[in-house]
A and B are shown apart, each in its own frame.
Chain A
Amino acid sequence: MMSSARWRSTLEAICIPLGALLVSLILFGLFCGAAKANPFAVYASIHKAAFGSWFAFQNTLIRAAPLMLTSLCTALPARLGLVIIGNEGALVVGGIGAVAIGLALGTSAPSLIVQIAMAIAALVCGGLWIGAVGALRHYRGVNETISSLLLNYIAIALLNHLVTGPMKDPASLNKPSTFPLADINMLDKLPGTRIHYGLIYGLIACVIAYILIQRTTFGFAARTSGGNIRAARIAGLPVGKLTMAISFLAGSCAGLAGMVEIAAVQGRANASLNANYGYSGILVAFISRHNPLAATLVAVLLGGILASGSILQRVHNLPDATVYVFQGIVFLVVMFSESLYGRFAIFKEPERPATPPVSPSSAAAVV
């Protein structure tokens, strides 16, 4: 049985994000109105395209899978007070690693072995990519936000270099790509659906991340360091190792998203790999307040919005960037809602005020 104060703070943690979502829906509605589209019709289309039918919902889930994984790339380091936004780069590098192993093994091994090898390659490549960010942060004091961002552009350049040069399939004329993976090495679909196993990967990764952060000593040490790094150092916690371990895990999640995109959707590496799942993943992490379990739900919601991008274009004649405007509005309102915690008397215990939840994003980013 939860205490009354606990109930109230839980209620606050549910009501404020929901309120923020509602406000952003209103703001986006006004924006659509200004762009001469009927907001109600737009929302009806989004709902129809995202959740309206089983067919549509499968599309949503297919898009939610990489979002779950990329959101962890921001959510895990946030527990340490790090703002890492290198999700896109880690995804791309993970995809490159996966496709390289997948092509190298080809059909020489059973497909299950090849898939596992691809997943491991993606985990390691993505992990090292963001792990380097953590190492630079610890050993050189390099701001992790900036370095991870720069690595995004470097990763995309690397992908473009590889698919137009060393790894190019000469048959891919219009869109430079690597050779395609063998069909048997592609990830299977869940029985009776078009949803691939990437969704399972995403769900498992989120559950593991949740347990790791909330239920293990490792997670406790990480949260302590995130709360007060000086106290953690004094307590003898290995802050540097924690930073690098968490960064590695974060990057490997995003890298796995790259493997999922390659091995379940694209079948080969090309510019399509860089489809902004990384940037949307940052948004998922922030809306879910860096809680991996909440991230699964938010990923499905955002996956639905992404899935509805093309229908907005076709039915309402809105540019495809409308989805970004929507995301931007949601992001800004959610940011603002962070400042509302503890401001409403209704969520406070009448006698003694409940402790306001610690906001992970309020951790200082020191340049």
Chain B
Amino acid sequence: MATEAIGWWGVPLAIAAGTMRGGTPFLFVSLGECLTEKSGKINLGLEGTLLTGAMSAYAISYLTKSPWIGVLVAGIAGMTLGLIHAWLCQQPRVNDVAVGIAMIIFGSGIAFFLGKPFIQPSAPQLPTIDLGYWSTIAPLKEALRISPLFVLGVALAPLMAWFFRSTRWGLFIRAVGDSPDAARAMGVSINRVRMLSIVAGSFLAGIGGASLSLYYPGVWSEGISSGQGLMAVALVIFARWNPVQCLYASLFFGGAQSLGPALQSIGVTQGYYLFNAAPYILTLAIMVITCSPKRTLSGVPGALGTNS
């Protein structure tokens, strides 16, 4: 980025751009996690899903020359991992957090294994929407080049909130997550609702992965996700299991993530790695502030983390 040309103004601009770019994977993965957790299960394995999504999107985009097929395949790859997680974590005496850890290792292993041949070649990227065509300032143009996936994610958040609030299926998911006994009394199959919620959530996380490899940073490498799938779990807590707040939280995290690179681009290299740790430190700080041992958090699904 040629932010040097506009000096210190480059920092807020780069952060604004990073908010939209870096926030996109956070958005999809946190919406996916939100959907999963609403049904009463935690999917810690979305980190592996994100990596698998990123790898398959890049590979398919490279092989078929069509990034959109890549996005679709990323979602399907995510669903496959979601199926394994959903089936395993609903077995008796199997803890969903522990399965999630196993799925992180398995998912990232699969992604690294199959993705090895695709580290070098460059795949066609998703087309972008240029909102900055009127400007002559290059960094501004660059910052306003947004991805259709970002727009999709922004639209998805209120849609999901409406889904939970006003649809029959939304009610089922909330009932299963809040009170499995009540759901059972309603005649809802808890296993099936959770299965579908986890699989659909993993589909979204897979798409989040596609936004990493096909939009920003737009390459496939093994370090591409660096814990973003895990931070989704913290993000959902921060967002109080509310999809619209997931949107705000994702933007906030995207911004925090771009702090280090933005400062580096104007020559502030001191403490680069510490700035890179900003999202993690921020997540931890938010959890320390918002959690309390005395009361349960507002908005938490009643059956979350219990083995019912």
Contact = CB atoms under 8 A, between A and B. Distances in A.
Real binding pair: yes
Nearest to A334: B102
B105 A331 contact: yes
Contact of B113 (A136, A141, A319, A338): A319
A149 interface: yes
A140 B292 contact: yes
B97 A325 contact: no
B113 to A, nearest CB: 4
Contacts of B230: 146, 149-150
Contacts of B92: 339
Contacts of A362: 93-95, 307
A334 B300 CA distance: 30
A298 B91 CA distance: 24
A30 interface: no
Interface string B101-112: 111011111101
B97 A145 contact: yes
Interface string A62-79: 000000000000000000
A228 B277 CA distance: 37
A335 B106 contact: no
A157 interface: yes
Nearest to B283: A150
Nearest to A163: B273
| Residue of A139, A145, A286 most packed against chain B (CB within 10 A) | A145
Interface residues of A, number: 57
Given A145-B97, A154-B280, A361-B98, A279 B105 contact: yes
Contacts of A146: 230, 233-234, 237, 283, 287
A336 B93 CA distance: 9
B97 A365 contact: yes
A205 B99 CA distance: 27
A141 B227 contact: no
Contacts of A359: 93
A40 interface: no
Contacts of B110: 325, 328
A147 B284 contact: yes
B42 A365 contact: yes
A153 B226 contact: yes
Contact of B293 (A83, A139, A365): A139
Contacts of B287: 136, 140, 142-143, 146-147
In this complex, the interface size class of chain B, counting residues with CB under 8 Å from chain A, is 35 or more
A98 B281 CA distance: 24
B266 interface: no
A150 B234 contact: yes
Interface string B228-241: 00110110010000
B305 interface: yes
Contact of B94 (A138, A325, A361, A366): A361
A367 B235 CA distance: 12
Interface string A129-171: 0000000101111110111011111100110110011000000
B306 interface: yes
A339 B113 CA distance: 29
A322 interface: yes
Interface in B266-308: 270-274, 276-277, 280-281, 283-284, 287-288, 291-294, 297, 300, 304-307
A324 interface: yes
Contacts, number: 171
A344 to B, nearest CB: 14
A283 B99 CA distance: 11
B152 interface: no
B116 interface: yes
B136 to A, nearest CB: 37
A363 B306 CA distance: 9
A342 B126 CA distance: 52
A105 B103 CA distance: 43
Interface in B87-143: 88, 91-99, 101-103, 105-110, 112-113, 116
A325 B283 CA distance: 29
A319 B93 contact: no
A58 B237 CA distance: 46
Interface string A331-367: 1101110110100000000000000000101111111
Given A136-B288, A325-B110, A83 B98 contact: yes
Contact of B288 (A142, A328, A341): A142
| Residue of B93, B233, B287 most packed against chain A (CB within 10 A) | B93
A142 B234 CA distance: 10
A154 B284 contact: yes
| Residue of A153, A322, A363 most packed against chain B (CB within 10 A) | A153
A209 interface: no
Contact of B98 (A136, A157, A321, A335): A335
B91 A339 contact: yes
A302 to B, nearest CB: 12
A320 B305 CA distance: 35
Interface in A262-285: 279, 282-283
B93 A339 contact: yes
A327 interface: yes
Interface of B: 42, 44, 84, 88, 91-99, 101-103, 105-110, 112-113, 116, 222, 226-227, 230-231, 233-234, 237, 270-274, 276-277, 280-281, 283-284, 287-288, 291-294, 297, 300, 304-307
9 contacts: A140-B292, A141-B294, A150-B230, A151-B284, A282-B101, A286-B98, A319-B112, A324-B106, A367-B300
Given A334-B102, A341-B93, 14 more contacts: A35-B113, A143-B237, A150-B230, A150-B231, A150-B280, A154-B280, A157-B277, A157-B280, A160-B273, A164-B273, A321-B109, A321-B116, A335-B98, A362-B93
